[in-house]
A and B are shown apart, each in its own frame.
Chain A
């Protein structure tokens, strides 16, 4: 079933816990050397799918191949070719950073000497050489994550699973992790990344699969998904609240679509087809009726918009239909 060049190929995965399907017909293909972002709310099935693909969980139905091997029938072959970085760093807190990497290297059967060499190499690469002899319990959150990533990279795996890799990190720690992930991708590793943070998916992923209720409900590049939502919007903020009604009428006429109004922010926003042309039309129309404009913006929908649109939640913003 694997197309040549797919690092991950999952078809019809189902996983049941008691009465509930955590995965219910989950399909996913990740081409080699790309970063796929699995995006979805809590409980959507992101972690379950990663746990199945990394051989931690048995699947009830379906088939999955990772790095060319079947997760059910050839788990050890898969395990030699993957790295897993979970939601919390899985490290021995009492041991030093170096001891952790040597331990995992030996458990990957590199032997003592090569495990030590590899540990030294990774500590250097992940900027942990100075803290190598300190126990992990003294590390900062970002340092733990980097060590965790390093442990996942010991055999330079073909596929790396990152399950919400920046949970609980401050912005600095998050940037450190993002930078490390980008470096890994440059060496050709395929990455499957789960995240609830849309900017994280936008920053790192080549393609995004939106997961809800145990299946993938939409798939594409970040730009694809944004475009599918209906293109760009123009947002006009008028100077005086009393001008709002006039502005709405003018904008509606100018672009021939129903705008939405945010009264508190004195903002009229509308979906547009031709970005620049529509912008000029709207500003001209407002100028013609002497409505002063405080601010105007042309913006693409964010992944937030895409996400809320796809998962059916209503945006909790102050958008009020005029």
Chain B
């Protein structure tokens, strides 16, 4: 160490130890700071969701037959809440894919950061945004005449089920972000969101579809959450005599847990295998 021209660091550089919670906290802070710096995508996402609700409420409203002759908007909103949760997947996928592509993921992996922290932080930050999104959608629903009639406990349970579904979908989004490369894959995810949402009981009764399609729609995880929250909110729904339709509240818990049980370990595994 001859001819040292730069000053030695004035800061004590003795580091602490890696810790999942602390590292996740730091990375959550990063995700929130990003959003504060560049809120455009979030505002666009919220605007898009509100626009879709208004479109369905005022444009298509007259064309759809409400089961049992109830309020169309009360019928509509549970489906919209769930659709909104689906539309969020691409935000997660884009964020994960971008970090991979930009080399940020590699930088984190070359640092003594807990290997689960980047994924956990992504999931938590996106859950926070999901909360905001759902809050905005609930207010939008109230503004256009939607009401919950099931009492506080049932209403909270419904909100919980919607957020549980989003939590599961976030892990699907994280996994897709880890396996797909480049912009085309992200577009593919965005393109799939609509069919995935429409192939459910959100807008059309599965019983009116061709048998096989109706079965797929009835078993769609989204249908479980839509069906269960319609019951809990006391909003009109399709009913239906398929086994799935009879057990939507159970499926609305079970499906997301299955998705998490599959995609969380797959994501962690995939993240580890970046080293192969």
Contacts and interface: CB of A to CB of B under 8 A. Distances in A.
Interface string B1-23: 10111101111110111110011
Interface string A78-92: 011010101111111
Contact of A135 (B6, B8, B19, B37): B37
Contacts of B102: 88, 90-91, 93
A86 B111 CA distance: 13
Interface string B86-130: 000000000000000011101111111100000000000000000
Q: Which of A93, A94, A111 has the most CB of B within 10 A?
A: A94
B188 interface: no
Given A90-B103, A108-B15, A187 B34 contact: no
Contact of A110 (B4, B11, B103, B107): B11
Contacts of A56: 106, 109-110, 274-275
Given A93-B102, A94-B37, A135-B37, A79 B110 contact: yes
B33 interface: yes
B181 to A, nearest CB: 15
B112 A109 contact: yes
B30 interface: yes
A92 B9 contact: no
Interface residues of B, number: 40
Contact of A55 (B3, B11, B103, B109): B109
Q: Which of B1, B3, B104, B111 has the most CB of A within 10 A?
A: B111
B38 interface: yes
A118 interface: yes
B30 A103 contact: yes
Contact of B111 (A58, A91, A96, A104): A104
B15 A55 contact: no
Q: How large is the interface on A (under 10, 10 to 19, 20 to 34, 35 or more residues)?
A: 35 or more
B33 A95 contact: yes
A303 interface: no
A187 B6 contact: yes
Contacts of B108: 107
B1 A107 contact: no
Chief secondary structure at chain B's binding surface = loop
B110 A111 contact: no
B26 interface: yes
B241 interface: no
Interface in B231-276: 274-276
A116 B102 CA distance: 24
Contacts of A184: 6
Contact of A117 (B11, B34, B37): B11
B206 to A, nearest CB: 42
A54 B112 contact: no
Contacts of A154: 13
A49 interface: no
A57 interface: yes
B4 A111 contact: no
B110 A84 contact: yes
A90 B104 CA distance: 5
Contacts of A79: 110-112
A125 interface: yes
A187 B13 CA distance: 15
Given A92-B104, A111-B16, A117-B11, A188 B1 contact: yes
B35 to A, nearest CB: 8
Nearest to B109: A56
Contacts of A151: 107
Given A76-B112, A187-B1, A117 B106 contact: no
A165 interface: no
B275 A107 contact: no
B26 A108 contact: no
Given A107-B27, A109-B22, 19 more contacts: A55-B110, A56-B110, A56-B274, A76-B112, A79-B110, A79-B112, A84-B107, A90-B104, A92-B30, A99-B37, A104-B111, A107-B26, A107-B113, A108-B15, A110-B15, A155-B13, A155-B15, A186-B4, A187-B4
17 contacts: A56-B106, A80-B15, A86-B103, A88-B102, A93-B102, A99-B37, A106-B29, A107-B23, A107-B111, A114-B12, A118-B11, A118-B13, A135-B38, A156-B9, A156-B13, A186-B3, A187-B6
Interface of B: 1, 3-6, 8-13, 15-19, 22-23, 26-27, 29-30, 33-34, 37-38, 102-104, 106-113, 274-276
Interface of A: 33, 54-58, 76, 79-80, 82, 84, 86-96, 99, 103-104, 106-111, 114, 117-118, 121, 125, 135, 151, 154-156, 183-184, 186-188
